[in-house]
Chains A and B, each alone.
Chain A
Amino acid sequence: MRRTGLLLLTSFMPEQEALSVPPHWLPDHATLGNYLTFFTPSGTRSIVGRRAAENTLPGIRNSVVAACGTAALNLMLGTLAAYAFARLRFPGRRSLMFLHLGSRMVPGIALIVPLYLLIHHLGLLDNLLALVITYLTFTLPFTIWVLKSYFQAIPRDLEEAALIDGCTWLRMVVRVLLPAAAPGLVAAAMFAFMTAWNDYLFAVILTSSMAAKTAPVVVAGFATDVTTERTLMAAGGVLAVVPPLLLAFLFQRFIVQGLAAGAVKG
């Protein structure tokens, strides 16, 4: 909380004040200049980072697209896979679950070169779709685990009652199962969204222009060989925090319920 507060307050300080000794929390000369820089980068008084300032808002837009795409695909694919794991008995079910989980154990840096080659061969370099596919591979196992636990916690009787009442299987899923699993779905979607939102490594390697560069990559541009524009970076950080924060506030109740269910009833 203190870090977030410091980030917020620093974003309203002139650069000199942010570096003053001893440091202080409240800005003596509060300014909106750092935020205005993102709208009129040519007027910036900073030493470096003009290009990063120009690209911050488009970078946030790209982040939103990549994160929303990842979350949506997670829900689509994760729901189907998790339902199968929760309700169907088939050979290799347990091994397959652990294989999914095991895929999360591989550090990203170890995969970066083969992943780059793969995306290159697919012709998807510098494309938001490449980011969505990449994030999907990392987030889907967690989504499946969370949703599987959640589906298992929903009584079969509910499904059977809907089917006896004349629902088709698909109608039962849409009308009965998914509403009952809403907290789990929201938690899984939020996790996928946040993972995609926070990624720096894959975005930096797989993108090269504003066609696909995301906010973390752009904001990192305020730190250069010559200096770091701390106040611009803080303002960029604050802007980048807003979308996930809004989502977290909106779905707070579901997120807590969903994650708690996944953790305890697994």
Chain B
Amino acid sequence: MVRANRSANRMARRAFLKGAALTGLGLAGLQVRRRAGAATGPTPVRFAGWAFEPQVVEANVKRFMEQNPDIKVQYEPLDLQLYNEKMVALFNAGTQPDAYYVRDTNLGAWVEAGWLQPIDGLPGLAELDADIFPFNLEALKYKGKQYGTPYYGDIYVYMYDRKALQRVGIPKSPVTLDQLREAALAVKKAGLAEYPILKGFKTNVDGLSEFWSMVFASGGNLFDEAMNPVYPDKDKTGLSVLEWMVQAIHDWKILDPKGLELDETQARDAFVNGQGFFTSNVGNVLPRANNPQHSKRAGDIAPTRFPGLTDVGKGPMGWTRLYCIDAKTKVRDAGWRLIYYMGGKDKTGTYYTAKDWYVKYGVGYAFKSLDKDPDMIKEHRAAGWDLDVRSQQYGAARARQNITATWYNEWDRFTQQQIQNALVKKLSPHEALTASANKARELKKQWG
């Protein structure tokens, strides 16, 4: 009886072991099948950027997935204002996306932190680079390696009221600071405006852009290749430009002192709505300034070559935003295909997203060949561009040498304050720029 029970128990144990083994095998088989399924399904790519018109990005991403059914993109728009802070939190938590937007002002710091990976040698990059404006291409690189494709890139543009200049009998647009002074004085003399030039000098993200642009347009520079300041004495261009600005406010009274209380955004909106006859601002202002739906002076605003001390055929300052791939992504190839599409060409060989952004929002593109695209030519003309001026300005624009330095933003803000001090005559232009140059040296020493 006992034996029979033991035998039955043994049988039960055997049956249990057999069942467990079969279950185990079954589960393992299921896992293998699942893995095989995962391998054949679309590769997931997490993609993020600051939320500028996310519905447009979503449409472009959808189009990418239609052209690349083996990739599934999960797009997440992040806050525009605190993008850097949010991304830093994501990096620290290890939850960063596979591909994302990067501002050129953050590129150096993010590379140094080990967050981005170079894309040199990836398929199609060399061909893409050959068509990118030099200032954009420069901004995609850090310490000789390329880290991204261009999301958008633009230049600072000098613009004026074409009708006003015609009324005072000036047939040509000003391309030097002397010509700008003469034109502004003529407008002032004709009683069209007390201060014909409107600029915002309140500290702002774009607050230093005109100064940079005037220095570059004059053929000068503020920094050497090693990011050492060459102003105000070794290269006197910056000093001469600031002296011109101070005289424009105090001696010739052509530059509106009210600009000290406005930032670039406010000055832009005031100009678009009829105040001032000359100003400078980001390139994407032009399509809006000449659009009757959004501007009171539509059709009257014309861009000119950015004025410098002398006409040396140089361009203004330009900047670039990038699409980059995360250093730790496990889907590098899929990530690259996505940023090649977003910041380059689609499957049909078209710069689809770049064109889409420009047509919809006037957001600048980085590709030389698009200047010859009939659709874009139509848009440029509607925006008020002379096509030759446009090509010259974008082709000759330059990136700021120290833009990738981790200390750039601190130096930029400090320098804006020194320029304000010079404009209100608290400091002489030389003292203001010396303080700025000393700050750059100090920061470089501190941060390396």
User: Residues of A at under 8 Å CB distance from B?
Assistant: 15-16, 19-21, 45, 47-48, 50-51, 109, 112-113, 116-117, 120, 125, 201, 204-205, 208-209, 217, 220-221, 223-228
Contact = CB atoms under 8 A, between A and B. Distances in A.
B93 A117 contact: yes
A221 B92 contact: no
Contacts of A120: 93, 95
The 10 closest A-B pairs by CB, nearest first: A116-B89, A21-B275, A204-B79, A19-B273, A120-B93, A19-B269, A204-B82, A51-B54, A224-B52, A113-B92
Nearest to B276: A21
Contacts of A209: 76
B227 interface: no
A48 B361 contact: yes
Contacts of A226: 52, 284, 288, 361-363
B79 A217 contact: yes
B81 interface: yes
A19 B270 contact: yes
Centre residue among A117, A208, A217, A227 by max chain B CB count within 10 A: A227
B248 interface: no
Contacts of B79: 204, 217, 220-221
B51 A51 contact: yes
A205 B294 contact: no
Given A48-B361, A116-B93, A226-B363, A204 B86 contact: yes
Contacts of A51: 51, 53-55, 77
B80 interface: yes
A117 B91 CA distance: 10
Contacts of B53: 48, 50-51, 224
B109 interface: no
Contact of B272 (A19, A217, A223): A19
B26 interface: no
A221 B51 CA distance: 7
A208 B76 contact: yes
B276 to A, nearest CB: 9
Contacts of A217: 79
Given A21-B275, A116-B90, A226-B52, 15 more contacts: A16-B273, A19-B269, A19-B273, A20-B296, A45-B293, A47-B361, A48-B361, A51-B53, A204-B79, A204-B85, A204-B86, A220-B80, A221-B51, A221-B80, A226-B361
Centre residue among A20, A21, A208, A228 by max chain B CB count within 10 A: A21
Nearest to B55: A51
Interface in B338-389: 361-363
Interface in B265-304: 265, 269-270, 272-275, 284, 288, 293-296
A120 B76 CA distance: 17
B265 A228 contact: yes
Contact of B52 (A19, A21, A205, A225): A225
Contacts of B80: 220-221, 223-225
Contacts of B76: 208-209
Contact of A227 (B55, B89, B288, B293): B288
A176 to B, nearest CB: 47
28 contacts: A19-B269, A19-B270, A20-B273, A20-B296, A45-B293, A47-B361, A48-B52, A50-B53, A51-B51, A51-B55, A112-B89, A113-B88, A116-B90, A117-B89, A120-B93, A204-B86, A205-B85, A205-B89, A208-B76, A208-B78, A209-B76, A220-B81, A221-B80, A223-B80, A224-B53, A225-B80, A226-B288, A228-B265
Contact of A112 (B81, B85, B361): B85
A16 B288 contact: no
Contacts of B273: 16, 19-21
